Amino acid sequence: MDDTIAAIATSVGQSAIGIIKISGPSALSIAQKLFRSRKNKNILSVPSHTLHYGFIVNPKNGQKIDEVLLAVMRGPHTYTREDVVEINCHGGRIPLYKTLDLVLEAGARLAEPGEFTKRAFLNGRVDLTQAEAVIDLITAQSEQALHLLVNTVEGNTFKPIYALQKEVEDWQARIEAELNFPQDLSWSFQPQELLAHLDQWTKLVDTYLNSYESSKFLIEGMKLVIAGKANVGKSSLMNQILQKERSIITSIPGTTTDVIEDSLYLKGILVRIMDTAGFGKVKNEIEREGIRRSQQIISQADLILLVFDGSQPLDEHDLLVMDLVRGQQKKVLLLVNKSDLDIRIKTESLIEFFGSSTPLISVSALTGEGICDITRIIADRYLDDQPANLGLAINLRQKGILAEIRQSLTALGELIRDGQPDDQVAEEFRLLSRLIRQLRGDLWSEDLIDQIFEKFCIGK
Ligand SMILES: Nc1nc2c(ncn2[C@@H]2O[C@H](COP(=O)(O)OP(=O)(O)OP(=O)(O)O)[C@@H](O)[C@H]2O)c(=O)[nH]1
Ligand SMILES: [Mg+2]
């Protein structure tokens, strides 16, 4: 980290301004080489956190490149804790890239994706969960997600878990002391006391784990896939839900050959809805590829709307999709379409196949009957407000570690109930405290850090 990095921090197109960010020990001296202040100020000696008007000038030939405002911020009170200069250029491709070129020629290195935030982490300004929340904040898909993530960026979301670490370490010390001086074959404290703590800790961790899915929807949106046999009315339902003519509908089976995507907001959450090619007798290469794509999209769904034609008994193609969907172990909403016609499907066999907790709605894409029920059930059953109310947003990495913490707590409970003070209990406590440190990023590996930060955009 002894080199100086630079990147364009805003998206490049046509905009009022565009910002080039420079961070590192030479940030100020690089700026000094390129910047001509109107009042002939020396950037190396201006006070920190000040803004200066002037021009970026090519030092080789004195040519003016752009009219800019230059922000000078000396470490450690900066995003990276290093010296930072931000050049506010005009927001076109040419002024931005030309200025960046000069910055690089003057001694900076082009930053990797996420490298500014990585430095903020490595320099101890933020912990890993805060850094991760920065990525999610940039891509967040709902206003609720924004509130949750700002909370994490500020460092509040995991405070209760970090507080738990202190308690865990106190107990660990106490237990290790007992093992070092075993006067007795039983604990010097009441096991009930520790069990009560374990219970409390488990409840806390469960609150986080239970928030994972809904907070994921808030941050990334929900992927809703409409699947089923050919000609059952998938595209008609897609259009009804969206209230627009998005997919092509015909009476010919195999009309939809590719995945058609659109989106809508339910409870302020982005729902990405995907219409797929129906399963049936494959007549050509196009349909075969369509079905392959349907299978692929089904495997990525958060919720599958599985559509049947209510006017026909189930046939082998329905069964094929049913098997495929059940095998995925995904959330499913069963839609029996064409309720305006005579119903010949046996809905009992569907319920038997998917279990009675899987919701089933009778709908008609032709008359619009039941369409409101689809969106209501999705909103009520799958998009709950819990994480927003609790202020919790957790990502997949954090969920993985929290699940391990949960397991470790269960294992500890069992060991304590078994009674004897032994080394295993101490070992489990050590594991617990290690896991919490991993969560916060006190323990990390190069690979993990690379994996996390490469998801960032350049300039962040
Ligand atoms: N009576 C009636 N007909 C419907 C209903 N929904 C769809 N249809 C008709 O069923 C046929 C197929 O509809 P689509 O929406 O194209 O069906 P699909 O499942 O997308 O078909 P593929 O794309 O071929 O897999 C069309 O003729 C629709 O008009 C309904 O609720 N009632
Ligand atoms: Mg279709």
Identify whether 14 is part of a domain.
Answer: yes
Residues 233 and 380 in one domain: yes
Identify whether 436 is part of a domain.
Answer: no
Evaluate: CB of 365 within 6 angstroms of ligand 1. yes
Q: Which residue's entry shows tokens 């350049």?
A: 458
Evaluate: CB of 340 within 6 angstroms of ligand 1. yes
**In this structure, are strands 222-228 and 303-309 parallel, antiparallel, or unpaired?**
parallel
pLDDT digits over 1-51, tens only? 789 999 999 988 889 999 999 999 999 999 999 999 988 999 999 999 999
Give, using CA atoms, the residue closest to atom 11 of ligand 1. Answer: 251
* Single-letter amino acid code for the residue at 282: V
Identify whether 373 is part of a domain.
Answer: yes
Last residue of a domain, one of 77, 101, 122: 122
Contact 186, 419 (CB under 8 A): yes
> How far apart are the CA of 325 and the centre of ligand 1, in A?
21
Identify whether 192 is part of a domain.
Answer: no
Q: What integer is the mean pLDDT of 305-311?
A: 98
CA–CA distance, 84 with 74 (Å, rounded to integer): 6
Last residue of a domain, one of 122, 145, 163: 122
> How far apart are the CA of 267 and the centre of ligand 2, in A?
27
Residues 244 and 368 in one domain: yes
Q: What is the DSSP string of 186-220?
A: S-SS-HHHHHHHHHHHHHHHHHHHHHHHHHHHHHH
> Rounded to the nearest 5 degrees, what angle is found at the Cα of 45, between the Cα atoms of 42 and 47?
115
pLDDT band of residue 410 (cuts 50, 70, 90) is very high
Which ligand 1 atom is the nearest neighbour of the CA of 278?
25
Q: What integer is the mean pLDDT of 277-286?
A: 91
Which ligand 1 atom is the nearest neighbour of the CA of 253?
24
CA–CA distance, 245 with 235 (Å, rounded to integer): 9
The bound ligand whose nearest atom lies closest to the alpha carbon of 278 is 1
Is the pLDDT higher at 304 or at 445? Answer: 304
Identify whether 457 is part of a domain.
Answer: no
pLDDT band of residue 420 (cuts 50, 70, 90) is low
User: pLDDT at position 82, please?
Assistant: 98
DSSP 111: P
* Predicted confidence (pLDDT) at residue 386 exceeds the cutoff of 90: no
- Average model confidence (pLDDT) across the chain: 92
> How far apart are the CA of 357 and the centre of ligand 1, in A?
27
Give the whole-number percent of the chain exceeding pLDDT 70.
97
User: pLDDT at position 419, please?
Assistant: 75
Identify whether 398 is part of a domain.
Answer: no
Q: What is the domain-level CATH number for residue 113?
A: 3.30.1360.120
Q: Which helix (H) or strand (E) holds 307?
A: strand 303-309
* Predicted confidence (pLDDT) at residue 329 exceeds the cutoff of 80: yes
Q: What is the domain-level CATH number for residue 293?
A: 3.40.50.300
- Find the domain containing 296 and state its range: 221-384
Q: How many domains are there within the chain?
A: 2
Residues 257 and 379 in one domain: yes
pLDDT digits over 156-210, tens only? 999 999 999 999 999 988 888 888 776 666 667 788 889 999 999 999 999 999 8
Q: Out of 226, 236, 245, give the residue to mutate to test ligand 1, the one with the largest number of ligand atoms within 8 Å of its CB.
A: 236
pLDDT band of residue 211 (cuts 50, 70, 90) is confident
The bound ligand whose nearest atom lies closest to the alpha carbon of 252 is 1
Within 13 Å of residue 186, how many CA atoms lie on the same side as its CB? 6
Identify whether 207 is part of a domain.
Answer: no
CA–CA distance, 286 with 278 (Å, rounded to integer): 12
Q: Out of 231, 239, 341, give the residue to mutate to test ligand 1, the one with the largest number of ligand atoms within 8 Å of its CB.
A: 231
The bound ligand whose nearest atom lies closest to the alpha carbon of 368 is 1
**Token pair listed for 38:** 């109107």
* Predicted confidence (pLDDT) at residue 84 exceeds the cutoff of 70: yes
User: pLDDT at position 388, please?
Assistant: 65
* Single-letter amino acid code for the residue at 348: E
CA–CA distance, 297 with 309 (Å, rounded to integer): 21
Q: What integer is the mean pLDDT of 55-77?
A: 97
CA–CA distance, 63 with 174 (Å, rounded to integer): 70
**Token pair listed for 371:** 């369409």
CA–CA distance, 286 with 276 (Å, rounded to integer): 13
> How far apart are the CA of 339 and the centre of ligand 1, in A?
12
Evaluate: CB of 235 within 6 angstroms of ligand 1. yes
Which ligand 1 atom is the nearest neighbour of the CA of 339?
31
Residues 234 and 99 in one domain: no
User: pLDDT at position 196, please?
Assistant: 94
Q: Out of 234, 248, 249, give the residue to mutate to test ligand 1, the one with the largest number of ligand atoms within 8 Å of its CB.
A: 249
> How far apart are the CA of 327 and the centre of ligand 2, in A?
23
User: pLDDT at position 385, please?
Assistant: 63
Residues 242 and 352 in one domain: yes
Identify whether 297 is part of a domain.
Answer: yes
Residues 113 and 259 in one domain: no
> Rounded to the nearest 5 degrees, what angle is found at the Cα of 342, between the Cα atoms of 339 and 344?
95
> How far apart are the CA of 276 and the centre of ligand 2, in A?
7
Evaluate: CB of 377 within 6 angstroms of ligand 1. no
Q: Would you call 235 helix, strand, or coil by DSSP?
A: helix
Q: What integer is the mean pLDDT of 360-376?
A: 96
Q: Could you tell me the end-to-end alpha-carbon distance of the chain, in angstroms, rounded to an integer?
A: 16
CA–CA distance, 375 with 130 (Å, rounded to integer): 34
Last residue of a domain, one of 95, 122, 149: 122
> How far apart are the CA of 226 and the centre of ligand 2, in A?
9
pLDDT band of residue 389 (cuts 50, 70, 90) is low
